[in-house]
Amino acid sequence: MRKYIVAGNWKMNTTVPQGVELAKAVVEKAKELPANVELVVAPPFTHLVSVAEALKGSKVALSAQNCADKEKGAYTGEVAVDMLVSAGCTYTILGHSERRQYYGETDAKLVDKVRLALAAGLKVILCVGENLDEREAGRHFDVVKEQTENVLFHFTAEEMASIVIAYEPVWAIGTGKTATAAQAEEIHACIRNVIEGKFGKKVADDLTILYGGSCKPSNAKELFAEPDIDGGLIGGAALKAEDFIAIAASF
């Protein structure tokens, strides 16, 4: 069965007390939501333990925004998958375009990270998406296809059950520009097709594919109405509990 998910990527925002307050507000407002949507919040590393505490007893899941590509040891400044699990995470986002763009994240490194995350029992939200130049050159389908294949074709159909893909067109992130529902749908359908070609129809049908890029309460309904858009990975609008929950209520 395909799951519907709305995940909030807080990026490098909020202090620990602000994050705890935001998490508590999300938990409170989430009580009004029907049970068909899974909520996930992804605060910065420093917040994870405190936010896990605030989420206790709720249905809101905790995600990291990244993890190390090594298991443990002398890697100053890195955070290992076991640490994330022990802090209360059940998910990690991987391959966000900001990590690819500013921190040299490569598909090869992502294969290692996904492998470690799955082995530790984490679910992965793997981000893919083209930048503006690639879209204007008409390469958007190819770019998304390549990113998906380069990382996920190293895994098995069974492992795919713990993977969520987020399509995030880089030109729509934090810009206020949203892909139209039709633009997003055609890429989501293409991703599902790529997955079906490799892993079969059941894995493709069960796969959750999220849209990210200036998704907000005013456009979520139209996006989520598309057959291959199964929720959202939300940046800016996830920093306000009211907006985040309004997006989740758009299903």
Residue 161: φ, ψ to 5°: -65, -20
Query: Does 122 contact ligand 13P by CB under 6 A?
Result: no
Q: Minimum distance between the CB of residue 167 and ligand 13P, rounded to whole angstroms?
A: 11
Query: Does 174 contact ligand 13P by CB under 6 A?
Result: yes
Among 38, 98, 134, 168, which one carries the catalytic annotation? 168
Rg over CA atoms, the chain: 17
Residue 231, beta-bridge partner list: 5
- Site string (132-171) toward ligand 13P, x via CB under 6 A: ------------------------------------x---
**Which residues neighbour 204 within 8 Å (Cβ) at sequence distance 6 or greater?**
192, 193, 195, 196
Query: Does 44 contact ligand 13P by CB under 6 A?
Result: no
Start-end of H helices in 122-216: 132-136, 140-152, 181-199, 201-206
Of 52-60, 131-139, 153-161, 211-219: span binding ligand 13P (CB under 6 A): 211-219
Q: Minimum distance between the CB of residue 197 and ligand 13P, rounded to whole angstroms?
A: 26
Q: Please confirm, yes or no, whether 32 is among the known catalytic residues.
A: no
Q: Which long-range contacts (CB under 8 A, 24 or more apart) does 185-189 make?
A: 185/226, 185/227, 185/228, 185/229, 187/140, 187/141, 187/144, 188/226, 188/228, 188/229, 189/227, 189/228
Closer of 43 and 212 to ligand 13P (Cβ): 212
Query: Does 173 contact ligand 13P by CB under 6 A?
Result: yes
Query: Does 43 contact ligand 13P by CB under 6 A?
Result: no
Q: Which residue has the tokens 């995600």?
A: 63
Residue 127: φ, ψ to 5°: -95, 140
Closer of 135 and 203 to ligand 13P (Cβ): 135
Look up residue 217 and give its DSSP letter.
Answer: H
First to last CA, the chain: 16
Query: Does 215 contact ligand 13P by CB under 6 A?
Result: yes
Query: Does 234 contact ligand 13P by CB under 6 A?
Result: yes
Query: Does 250 contact ligand 13P by CB under 6 A?
Result: no
Contact yes or no for 176/164 (Cβ under 8 A): no
Q: Please confirm, yes or no, whether 149 is among the known catalytic residues.
A: no
Q: Using the rule CB under 6 A, which residue among 214, 229, 241, 244 binds ligand 13P? A: 214
- By CB under 6 A, the count of residues binding ligand 13P is 14
Q: Which of the residues are catalytic? A: 96, 168
